[in-house]
Amino acid sequence: MEYFLQLLLGGLTRGSIYALIALGYTMVYGIIELINFAHGEIYMIGAFTALIMSSVLTLYGFNEVSIIVLSSLIALIYSSAYGFTVEKIAYKPLRGAPRLSPLISAIGMSIFLQNYVLLAQTSDFLPFPTLIPEFNFMKNYEHVFGSTELVIVVTTVLVMILLTILIKFTKIGRAMRATAQDKKMAMLVGINVNKIISVTFIIGSVMAAIGGILIASHIGQINFYIGFIAGIKAFTAAVLGGIGSIPGAVLGGFVLGWTESFATGYVSSDYEDVFAFALLVLILIFRPEGILGKSSSQKV
Amino acid sequence: MKCMMNTSLLTCILMVVMTVTLSCTKPESQPLKVGVAGPHSGDLASYGLPSVKAAELVINETNDKGGILGRRIELLIEDDVCKPELATNTATKLVSQSVHIVLGHICSGATKAALGIYKDSNVPVISPSATNPDLTQSGDYPNFFRTIASDDAQAKLEVDFALDVLKLKKIAVLHDKGDYGKGLAEFVKGFIENSGRAELVLYEGITPGAVDYSAVVQKINLSGADAVIFGGYHPEASKIVMLMRKKKMDTIFISDDGVKDITFIKIAGEYAEGVYATGPKDVSMNPLAVKANEAHKKTYGSDPGAFFLNAYAAAQALLNAIEKSGSTDYAKVTHALRTEYVETPLGKIRFDDKGDAIGVGFSMFQVKHGRYVEIN
Amino acid sequence: MRTILEINKLSMDFGGLRALDNFDLKMNEGEIVALIGPNGAGKTTLFNCATGIYAPSGGDIFLSPEPDRKIRINSLKPNIITGKGMIRTFQNIRLFPNMTVLENVMIGRHCRTSSGILGAILRNDSTRKEESGIVDHSYKILEKIGLNHFVSELARNLPYGAQKKLEIARALATEPFLLLLDEPAAGLNARETKELDTLIAQIRDEEKISILLIEHDMKLVMSISDRIVVMDYGRKIAEGPPDEIRINPVVIKAYLGEEFVA
Amino acid sequence: MLNVSEMKKSLLVSIWFMFLTFPIMVIRVNPIEKIVEWRWGNMFLVGIGSFILSFIWRYFIRQKESGLKKVEMGEKIIPFFEKLRSGDSIYLRSLCMTLSCAAAVFPFVFSTYQTTIMTTVLMYVVLGLGLNIVVGLAGLLDLGYVAFYAVGAYSYALLNYHFGLGFWTVLPLGAVLGAFFGILLGFPVLRLRGDYLAIVTLGFGEIIRLVLENWNEFSFGPSGIANIPRPSFLGIQFSLQQATVYQYFLTIGLALCTIFVVNRLQDSRIGRAWIALREDETACQAMGVDKVRTKLRAFALGATWAGMVGVMFAAKTTFINPASFTFIESALILSIVVLGGMGSVPGVVIGACILILLPEYLRAFTEFRMLLFGAILVLMMVFRPQGIISNVRRTYELKGVPGRTLRD
């Protein structure tokens, strides 16, 4: 039973990270129907910026709290700046182009950003400081579910709630929904579609950076390649949950995290990814729109 | 039809021209070409770039002294991204540039793919890091040498240590599904099962780069293993060790040369304490190793990376063999590699008939107070 | 006069919405029937059910390509139904925009031809013959419809009216005995509508193809149809020759509201 | 051009990029040694670079938007190939002659290395053309194409290892197995559309690779299979150089065969059905095209080529392991198709040349090669999203019909 619980909570932690990155995928996809392959790289850049900033601040003798706050904040700012710029360079000029073009552009962007960080920084793994403060939490069960894991899960849930509020109840959220439904109509009713798309990328990037910082401090090291694998997994999660749906992305993340966790725990970690992808294939075959996705009946 | 005629005529002429140019003997004063191949970009670049630096250091030093056999040495650096298909291109390119000897490749898979090409062109190859046993033991590649112990030797050392010294009864074996890690783990598994003295409670591969390993760590915990033997590299090793310690598990962690890297200790910090890893015998007292490390620091401003000393030794062995044999002739050079000892940062080495280095000792290390300490 | 299409108690639900409600319809050979009704009455849904794009929730659809043969086509795949000889056009033009006009029509020949992969690669005699047959047949249809000067133009570059015609040409290439037209006159100017009027009559008279059309242009409907079926809220509310329908109070009510009924 | 507002814009861009690249480009930390290195020079370079580049960028964007589309490539190549397509015999014959002569003498003029590279390019041409059937013609976004490639490679390696089957025996077998797996994948994903299809095919590709990696008893796991024999010719064993030349001609043969077949397919009844399916699935089905069969045919035919090239690949490298069949490989092949121009055969050929030769010749800038590769993909898509050569539809010979070559 304890073992089951451990796997369950472990899967939850892992799923939270997928969910945070998947939110970015799902939002971007919802608005411009693009698989933003460079999203994983934004996550990586977020983590890198946090690492660089915390190292610099440590060197200049800032105290622990201000290091955590400042470096996270700067990382969020920078990753959203990157998300914004990537959209302006690689996707905006491609509105209305054949469908696959932005996808190739995104793959190109992803390769570019990886190598940019590789060249400007290093190919080595770097130790990442513990930016998540550790505290006493269920002392006797720490081996099951530690404070770091708690922070990760709670942050994810909070972020999802905030995002849902933002999208459901604010003006900008309404504009986003309108743009997702019909860009032309949105433009006609006076929504600045370009601005909305930029905002979407910025919000998505912030999520990715939060995910990046959390996972990097959980795992304790990063290199330039972490974004790619996490990106693919997160995209899988987004599709699993129903792409375009915010709770779907979170649920998809959790389901994927659990699948991997239980596959490892009860079968073998050799086939962890096989299980993850097989689940995806099965879900899409029997429920092509994903778990929470809305089935779009085609208009004829 | 006319086109065909033209083509074949043209072909004939070109072939004649080619033969003439190719058969022109090159003057001896031409530089000696040393190829360095390995991953210099992509996710495995950090294993390939140190070798380039090692080669540069050794060759610059030799060139400063006036070269070898009166010839300067030229480096041909080629990237193979550790991919077999690119490695064959790399090898063909080097061969086309009539390279004399090659330092590389880094990954066993890429090395295997490239070796056939070098073999057909009579180019000796020394790898600082390709550990797959087949490379030497299959006898398929007489032109291959290496300055690193093969997987089975390392695996034997790990298992013997676990069984004889630590007297463990339950062992979990993990690997990173890679060429190196899984190859090693397979041997470890085989040795444990053959010994009959310990129980293999878990044998699994983990996915490198995955965001979390807690499930597999829980599984180790559940299996009740006394120790984990891990085949793979330090990034995954440090993640697993850190997770195990955070989960308050004191399972012994034994790993390989890929983990016996100072970066492992730097990243895992306090959690690294007590971890065992096999590696080349402690050479930190070896004046040549000290010199090589210092030269790296002076030239590149940082500590050397993975397989630096192996590559350094390989470069020295190559140059030594050419110098001692007095030529670049394939037979003479390989003979010299097999017979002539050379002083390297790894000790005094030569190669056996199969191509494995003699004199590169392997021993077990343990992390104590933030340092790898050799266990005797 | 034999029945070629028989729809019995057809129902279609979308979630809670009932788009078709026990709808009955019969079509006779050589007839032109118009289907009219306010927006959202379920006309296009009927087409979609009949041509296999939607699977109806209840009821039956029978098609009778020749005497003494009656096939139940509920939930058959669209391509099978086309193969049986019923074809439709689309309300919002659905051509293949990046194919030439000729190629668009040639797609219509797909279900009447059979050469496979090997034939395509080897391009043997029978394939070549079939190919040239497809080209010739398609070109003849374009000539008849009056699009022959556009053959090599990409479909997306055609003017709107020509695109509408091309849809009909493409449908005709499948050699149907029953043609369903979904608002063929929508967006056409008076002259084009006039041409369409002639064209529809021509298709019926020369090709012996029966036609069921959805249309809002009452002038067109009244002039060409033999019979009019009026739909509202997924049900049939009236049926009869044009002159009867014109004065039917139920129809006027459905269209114009209560107060206009005299 | 160089007025104040333009300068101001560029200045803003340059400031933005200096800000953007600040942490990554300027600061380098070594958290292990606790050293922070400040590289202010980089900031200066980024500033200058982005200032200049922003002018060029805006210039090209304006060019593109003003509808002139005077991107050099397009202007030169399209009319040329149109002439080819419309069967202008002088162009066609002279081009074919030059190309075939060049191809025939290539291995004798250039080094073995160049020949190997050309062989690689040709293999990617075939892969690109195969994927072109699925993506370019049928419009099914397949991100797991490399799986079929792996199937081909492993079928040669394993059949040779276990049963000693030769290259020529396995080549058709590889094709059949490729097609079989194509159908196997095709069946479950038929219902999916667009991006769902993309992610499932991606998953399928990964599953194949992971199985090869983990199932040691079957595939020898990550250590791969070595000593795969090169293709023989009537039992003659070649030297490395001869084998390279031989393989080069084999690959040319395969590539020509592929071009021939793909050309014929796309101008056939089936090819038209694929394109129609891509253009409008619903309408296509309503016009009597069997969607399931058409899609399966596309998957199977696409996979067939991948299977054959897989066999060739295994014979060329003589060693294979799962590391050669990663997602990036699929992305590369897809990029070839899209870069060249979807659905266009000459486009795919040129796309393969660029994407394979570029990184190979950019070796001089080893470190920057992947960076440039990424950048080129983005720039290419931004400035010419329809690919280098946009697909031109075939026009048909019609007896006595004037003006039959009207086109946009």
Distance from the D138 Cα atom to the nearest Cα atom in chain B, whole angstroms: 30
Residue A297 lies in a domain: no
The amino acid sitting at C118 is L
Overall average pLDDT of the A170-197 stretch: 86
The amino acid sitting at A88 is K
Residue B320 lies in a domain: yes
pLDDT of residue A49: 92
ipTM: 0.82
Overall average pLDDT of the A239-253 stretch: 86
Question: Which phi and psi (to 5°) does residue B226 adopt?
Answer: -75, -30
Instruction: Note whether B105 contacts D: Cβ–Cβ < 8 A.
Output: no
Q: Which residues from A are below 8 Å from C44, CB to CB? A: 300
Question: Cα separations (Å) of B289 from A209, B282, B348, C60?
Answer: 42, 10, 12, 88
Question: Is the same domain home to B170 and B138?
Answer: no
Angle in degrees, CA C120, C122, C123, rounded to 5: 60
What distance, in Å, lies between the first and last C-alpha atoms of chain B? 78
- pLDDT > 80? residue C125: yes
Instruction: Note whether D335 contacts A: Cβ–Cβ < 8 A.
Output: yes
CA torsion angle B316 B318 B323 B327 (round to 10) = -170
Q: A71 with A238: CB under 8 angstroms?
A: no
CATH number given to C1-85+176-262:
3.40.50.300
Distance from the A137 Cα atom to the nearest Cα atom in chain D, whole angstroms: 29
Question: Is the same domain home to B40 and B132?
Answer: yes
Lowest mean pLDDT among B13-17, C159-163, D155-159: B13-17
- pLDDT > 60? residue D205: yes
- pLDDT > 60? residue C132: yes
Residue A128 lies in a domain: yes
The amino acid sitting at D367 is E
Task: Write out the DSSP string of B165-203.
Answer: IS--SEEEEEE-SSHHHHHHHHHHHHHHHHH-SSEEEEE
Distance from the A70 Cα atom to the nearest Cα atom in chain B, whole angstroms: 23
Binary contact (D363, B79; C-beta < 8 A): yes
How far apart are the C-alpha atoms of B92 and B35, rounded to whole Å? 11
Q: A264 with A272: CB under 8 angstroms?
A: yes
The amino acid sitting at B68 is I
Q: B41 with B89: CB under 8 angstroms?
A: no
Q: How confident is the model at residue C157 (pLDDT cuts 50, 70, 90)?
A: confident
How far apart are the C-alpha atoms of A169 and C169, rounded to whole Å? 50
Q: D250 with D312: CB under 8 angstroms?
A: yes
Residue A168 lies in a domain: yes
Overall average pLDDT of the A252-260 stretch: 91
Structure confidence by residue, pLDDT tens digits, A138-155? 666 666 677 788 888 898
How far apart are the C-alpha atoms of B198 and B166, rounded to whole Å? 11
Q: How confident is the model at residue D404 (pLDDT cuts 50, 70, 90)?
A: very low
The token duo for B268 is: 């895992």
Instruction: Report the DSSP beta bridge partners of residue B73.
Output: B32
Domain ranges of chain C: 1-85+176-262, 97-175
- pLDDT > 90? residue D149: yes
Strands B32-38 and B73-79: parallel
B positions 2-31 inside 8 Å of D (CB): 3, 6-7, 10-11, 14-15, 18
Task: Write out the DSSP string of chain C.
Answer: --EEEEEEEEEEEETTEEEEEEEEEEEETT-EEEEE-STTSSHHHHHHHHTTSS--SEEEEEE-SSTT--EE-TT--HHHHHHHTEEE--SS----TTSBHHHHHHHHTGGG----HHHHHH--HHHHHHHHHHHHHHHHHHHHHT-GGGTTSBGGGS-HHHHHHHHHHHHHTT--SEEEEESTTTT--HHHHHHHHHHHHHHHHHH--EEEEE---HHHHHHH-SEEEEEETTEEEEEE-HHHHHH-HHHHHHHH-GGG--
Burial of D253 (0-12, 13-18, 19+ CB in 10 A): exposed
Q: How many independent structural domains does chain B possess?
A: 2
Distance from the A13 Cα atom to the nearest Cα atom in chain B, whole angstroms: 8
The token duo for C140 is: 């003849």
Question: Is the same domain home to B121 and B170?
Answer: no
pLDDT of residue A144: 66
Q: Provide the 8-state DSSP code for A263.
A: I
Q: How confident is the model at residue B27 (pLDDT cuts 50, 70, 90)?
A: very low
pLDDT of residue D395: 63
Three-class SS of residue B25?
Answer: coil
Q: Which residues from A are below 8 Å from C13, CB to CB? A: none
Instruction: Report the DSSP beta bridge partners of residue C212.
Output: C33, C180
pLDDT of residue A164: 87
Overall average pLDDT of the D200-219 stretch: 86
Q: D210 with B171: CB under 8 angstroms?
A: no
Question: Is the same domain home to B219 and B144?
Answer: no
The amino acid sitting at A167 is I
Q: D78 with D340: CB under 8 angstroms?
A: no
- pLDDT > 90? residue D323: no
pLDDT of residue D407: 37
Q: A10 with A146: CB under 8 angstroms?
A: no
- E strand or H helix at B255, and its extent? strand B252-255
Binary contact (A300, C90; C-beta < 8 A): yes
Strands B170-175 and B144-146: unpaired
User: How far, in whole angstroms, is CA B253 from its chain's centroid?
Assistant: 23
- pLDDT > 70? residue C156: yes
Of C223, C219, C203, C243, whose CA–CA distance to C30 is shortest?
C203
Q: How many independent structural domains does chain A possess?
A: 1
Most B CBs within 10 Å, among A1, A6, A51, A152, to test the B interface? A6
Residue A253 lies in a domain: no
Q: Which residues from A are below 8 Å from C90, CB to CB? A: 300
Overall average pLDDT of the A25-39 stretch: 86
Q: Which residue has the tokens 């101001």?
A: D8
Q: Which residues from C are below 8 Å from D287, CB to CB? A: 79, 82, 87, 107-108, 110-111, 170-171, 174
How far apart are the C-alpha atoms of A124 and A225, rounded to whole Å? 10
- pLDDT > 90? residue A79: yes
Of B215, B238, B269, the CB nearest to A264: B215
Q: How confident is the model at residue B4 (pLDDT cuts 50, 70, 90)?
A: very low
The token duo for C60 is: 């039956």
Q: How confident is the model at residue C257 (pLDDT cuts 50, 70, 90)?
A: low
- pLDDT > 50? residue A10: yes
Across chain D, mean pLDDT equals 82
Residue of B nearest to A270 (CA): B205
- pLDDT > 50? residue B25: no
Instruction: Note whether D5 contacts B: Cβ–Cβ < 8 A.
Output: no
Of D269, D289, D404, the CB nearest to C115: D269
Structure confidence by residue, pLDDT tens digits, C81-110? 888 889 999 888 888 888 888 889 999 888
Domain span at B60:
32-149+285-361
Structure confidence by residue, pLDDT tens digits, B31-43? 889 999 988 876 6
Domain span at A193:
12-227
Instruction: Report the DSSP beta bridge partners of residue B279.
Output: B363
Q: B317 with B147: CB under 8 angstroms?
A: yes
Binary contact (B84, D113; C-beta < 8 A): no
CA torsion angle C249 C255 C257 C260 (round to 10) = -50
Q: Which residues from A are below 8 Å from C91, CB to CB? A: 300
Overall average pLDDT of the D279-297 stretch: 88
- pLDDT > 90? residue D176: yes
Structure confidence by residue, pLDDT tens digits, C46-87? 888 888 888 888 888 898 888 888 888 887 888 888 888 899
The token duo for B35 is: 């190829």
- pLDDT > 60? residue D371: yes
pLDDT of residue A299: 47
CATH code: domain of residue B336:
3.40.50.2300
How far apart are the C-alpha atoms of A41 and A30, rounded to whole Å? 20
Binary contact (A3, B218; C-beta < 8 A): yes
Overall average pLDDT of the D377-395 stretch: 76
Q: Provide the 8-state DSSP code for A133.
A: P
Distance from the A297 Cα atom to the nearest Cα atom in chain C, whole angstroms: 10
Q: B91 with D111: CB under 8 angstroms?
A: no
Instruction: Note whether B208 contacts D: Cβ–Cβ < 8 A.
Output: no
The amino acid sitting at C1 is M
Structure confidence by residue, pLDDT tens digits, B299-329? 888 888 878 888 999 998 988 888 888 888 8
Structure confidence by residue, pLDDT tens digits, A82-94? 999 999 999 888 8
- pLDDT > 70? residue B274: yes
Most B CBs within 10 Å, among A114, A116, A125, A152, to test the B interface? A125
Global pTM? 0.85
All structural domains of chain D: 4-65 (no CATH), 106-383 (1.10.3470)
Q: Count the alpha carbons within 13 Å of C226 in the hemisphere toward its beta carbon.
A: 15
Structure confidence by residue, pLDDT tens digits, D16-73? 998 888 888 888 887 767 778 888 888 888 888 988 888 888 888 887 777 644 434 4
Structure confidence by residue, pLDDT tens digits, D233-245? 776 777 777 888 8
Of B196, B223, B163, whose CA–CA distance to B204 is shortest?
B223
Structure confidence by residue, pLDDT tens digits, A187-214? 888 888 889 999 999 999 999 999 889 8
Residue A223 lies in a domain: yes
Structure confidence by residue, pLDDT tens digits, B73-128? 888 988 888 888 888 888 988 988 889 999 988 888 889 889 888 988 889 999 99
Chains B and C touch (3+ CB pairs under 8 A): no
Overall average pLDDT of the B49-57 stretch: 90
Q: D397 with C144: CB under 8 angstroms?
A: no
The token duo for D293 is: 């069969």
